[in-house]
Structure 1
Amino acid sequence: MDTTRLLSKETLMHKTKSSTIPDRSRPGLTTAASSIGNQDGVEKLATGETNVVRLAKEEFTVGTWNVRTLHQEGKVNQLTYELDRYQWHVLGIAEMRWLNSGETTTDGHKLWYSGDEKCHRKGVGFLVHREYAKAVMESEPISSRVIRVRLNANLRNVSIVQAHAPPADCNDEETEEFYDSPRITLDKIPKKDIRIIQGDWNAKIGCDVYQNWKGTIGKFGVGEVNERGARLLEFCKLNNLVVANTFGKHKTSRRVTWIAPDGTTRNQIDFILLDRRCKSCIKVNKTRSFPGADIGSDHNLLMMTMKLKIKKVRRQPNCRIKYNLQQLKDTKCQEEFEVKIGGRFGALLEMEE
């Protein structure tokens, strides 16, 4: 056999192996190694500065759901029952209709809420999975429409704001007053935190304005933008946020978040807004609405999955003190022990006598 031909064949095989990587999802299949344009979540801004968000192997799932009411017997149990069918970490809730603010535990999960002081209307809250409840660093009930929690995560902490915008028939003054509250809340969040603001915005963004708001929204909105939607887009632009649930190419039933009483009118009015610098962390295939979740509401459960590792704070085990009783067989040690114990409990022995 020609030695030169054999060497060239081995060289070719070596080059082929080095330029291909195995596809883990289908064993034995190889695909050409592609260049990674946004490795480790590096995003270059227009100013020339570079923000880096390291991508974690673990996934973090946050959701929002307008449940219409939790002020009914058994509603909270129904909520946790429905969520057990999904993988989730933190759920923001709108229209809880609970009074005042506080925290409670249900089925091991931790629930923080902020409601009206007098009437069972409006009200927002956060339900945190039992395994991650101790990762919550702080919670802040702001109003009956806005609440915030902060979670301990690797590299960067996460601040999540749950909001519930006024309905479409409210005047512009009330709408602007509402937007002031999330804006002030976002300004108070530490700059290094990953910011997520989500909820029922009562606004339609649509897909017709994609070219005008490219980078802020994706191509996969529903319907056409309205006046409230334009206000929401301005809010996103001013605060460097992206609308996470408009980037996935899902079928319409998995993009719609609200169904009218007539059963035919469907819109997308619930949104999850995320820091622009973390856009590459979004798992678009897992960021969508879940129409199968049922709690008697006209809104669908909406969840976003991203690459992030939340710290699990585990309880410290109880340390039991073990005594070496064999040492009491030593006379000297026994005498020292009797003196020590006698000094501590001498008063009690005298009382008994």
Structure 2
Amino acid sequence: MKTYQKQWPPVPSGWNDPGQGSGQTSRRAGGAKNPWVKQGCQLHIATYNARSIGNEERLTELQYELDRINWDILGISETRRRGEESIRLRSGHILFYKGREDNSLGGVGFLINKRISPNLQILKTISDRVIYITLKINSNITIKVVQIYAPTSSHEDEEIEVLYDEITQSLTENKTRYTLIIGDFNARIGEQCNSSQYVGQFGLGKRNERGTMLANFLEKEQLYIMNTFFKKRPHKKWTWASPDGITKNEIDYMLTPNKHIVQEVDVLNSFNTGSDHRLVRCRIVLNTKLERAKKFNSTQYRIDPDTIRDNKSIYSKRLTERLTKETTSSHESLDETNNRLVKELKETTTSLVSSKTKRIEKFTTQTKQLLERRRELIKDNKRNTVEYAELNKTARKMAKQDIRKYQENRIEELIQQNRGLNIFKKENAHKKEMIKLRDGQGNITEDRREILKVTEKFYTGLYESKIDNEYVRKANSDHKNRICNVGSEDLPEIEEEEIVKALNQLKNGKAAGDDIIYIRKVIQAT
């Protein structure tokens, strides 16, 4: 029996071995140690030819499979979605894609995990075959990930040359410290030829004509094809299988000029959404820790008023229990009473929302069992059997029925609650995000931070006062002269009817201030 031992890339110049004297080591899959890996930020970046995420069922199935693995960025080939768009899914992940305008063939996209979405800086499309994103890890380190989908062997070589020119364009634009090019290259690079330093010793099969064109491109751009630098068993290398299951090739790759950051490249056999491709994932380590989303996002909860309304009996009971425990002191000031009430309202609301954060399951148990059975057939190398084909067809049919049943049940619930269908549309609509904007000088920017600056500048100018400055200063001066000292006067009594009237004058769903308490007109005048 042959034994397979991990083969690490050579230690880059300038790197110190943290294992010497420091005791720091890092471990790759299989138990082997790589002594020169520095501790820092880890990212799991994957690429997958999904063979379509054009409808809700396929997109939901893809997210269901992703929940089972570690991932941060997923590059997708053959999205089969028209146009260009960036949307935030109900799960919180960002889907960014580019497809053709006239048909649903081809297309590329990214699915960015919500954990790292605050680090997104630029989302850029070159064509319906090449797109890229850049992430700002910290003030010094940025990384660019390029997703591509190469033409198949039925296309002319000129189209391949155009693709490589577009990849070169993506490399020269918005330069970053680290770069990764991933996707379906539709080329067999095979085993190492002519001792090329950019192709490792562990490729699969023999190189074809398109593989030669890819090898020349690697030499030109000084890119390492990382799949070939890690020794794997043959059944752990192939990424595409023919319909008859006889031919299996390695055509999905990870390229980078910074090969020292790539710590592992794996082909995941258990991940499958019915495609004839397998997911390829790499683990990279950067010399810093990832800035977490809490540095960018507010720590406050955004409370949905509909959540309170749907659970008003539970909310009323919890709030009553809290308020009855606290007794109003005779020495308590008005501000102290207000702060206490606000605190109790916020804590009660937060506890209610926290208990409702369970993810909505659209697939039934039966459908999940079919998907699990499909994974078992793949593990048993029965991908090309009649049983697998029938099971895959049944699973997709059941998934479509489950989503339709979920939507029907939700609509029925809303009707019983006397609420409109706009609530259902809002719940199921993916939030679109702006990916480019034209500033006042006519220049188009794609940097997300620059987009915010342009937007801020526009609205600042839009609502800026046009009144003469001298007139404003005079008005402010007169206003100051009219201020009276009322600190010694007693506050008048506030009637209950006045409070009810004031609350009912507030707009629905709007917060009264920084207490983030949303108002509903549920108080009736007595």
TM class, shorter-length: 0.7 to 0.9
CA separation of 1:336/1:94 partners in 2, compared to 1, >3 Å: closer, same or farther?
Answer: farther
Asked if 1 retains the 8 angstrom alpha-carbon contact of 2:25 and 2:34, the reply is no
Aligned equivalents of 1:234, 1:180: Cα separation in 2:
13
Q: CA deviation at 1:80?
A: 0.8
Q: CA deviation at 1:109?
A: 0.7
Residues 1:173 and 2:158 are matched in the alignment = yes
Structure with bigger helix share is: 2
Map 1:263-302 to 2 at 5 A. 263-275=245-257, 278-284=258-264, 287-302=265-280
Map 1:143-222 to 2 at 5 A. 143-154=127-138, 155-190=140-175, 192-209=176-193, 211-214=194-197, 216-222=198-204
Secondary structure at 1:263 match in 2: coil
AA partner of residue 333 (structure 1): G
Q: CA deviation at 1:203?
A: 0.4
CA separation of 1:181/1:21 partners in 2, compared to 1, >3 Å: closer, same or farther?
Answer: closer
CA separation of 1:35/1:172 partners in 2, compared to 1, >3 Å: closer, same or farther?
Answer: closer
Sequence identity of aligned pairs in percent?
Answer: 31
Q: CA deviation at 1:22?
A: 6.1
Of 289, 299, 306 in structure 1, the residue corresponding to residue 284 of structure 2 is: 306
CA separation of 1:334/1:95 partners in 2, compared to 1, >3 Å: closer, same or farther?
Answer: farther
- Partner residue in 2 for 1:81: 64
Q: CA deviation at 1:224?
A: 0.6
Secondary structure at 1:151 match in 2: strand
Of 93, 100, 109 in structure 1, the residue corresponding to residue 83 of structure 2 is: 100
> Which consecutive unaligned segments of at least 5 residues does structure 1 have?
1-18, 27-33, 41-54, 339-347, 349-353
Q: CA deviation at 1:199?
A: 0.5
Aligned equivalents of 1:133, 1:206: Cα separation in 2:
36
Aligned equivalents of 1:334, 1:260: Cα separation in 2:
88
Residues 1:333 and 2:491 are matched in the alignment = no
Secondary structure at 2:160 match in 1: helix
Structure with bigger strand share is: 1
Secondary structure at 2:122 match in 1: strand
Q: CA deviation at 1:90?
A: 0.3
Asked if 1 retains the 8 angstrom alpha-carbon contact of 2:123 and 2:134, the reply is yes
User: Which string of whole-angstrom CA distances, capped at 9 and with x for unpartnered residues, describes residues 160-183 of structure 1?
Assistant: 110000001111111111211111
CA separation of 1:35/1:280 partners in 2, compared to 1, >3 Å: closer, same or farther?
Answer: closer
Higher relative contact order (CA 8 A, sep 6+): 1
> Which consecutive unaligned segments of at least 5 residues does structure 2 have?
1-19, 28-32, 302-332, 337-484, 493-501, 503-526
AA partner of residue 90 (structure 1): I
Aligned length: 286
Asked if 2 retains the 8 angstrom alpha-carbon contact of 1:136 and 1:149, the reply is yes
Q: CA deviation at 1:335?
A: 4.0
- Partner residue in 2 for 1:136: 120
Asked if 2 retains the 8 angstrom alpha-carbon contact of 1:253 and 1:291, the reply is no
AA partner of residue 165 (structure 2): D
Aligned equivalents of 1:125, 1:63: Cα separation in 2:
12
AA partner of residue 273 (structure 1): L
CA separation of 1:142/1:335 partners in 2, compared to 1, >3 Å: closer, same or farther?
Answer: farther
Asked if 2 retains the 8 angstrom alpha-carbon contact of 1:151 and 1:310, the reply is no
Q: CA deviation at 1:104?
A: 1.4
Q: CA deviation at 1:334?
A: 5.7
AA partner of residue 66 (structure 2): L
- Give the alignment's Cα RMSD to 1 decimal: 3.0
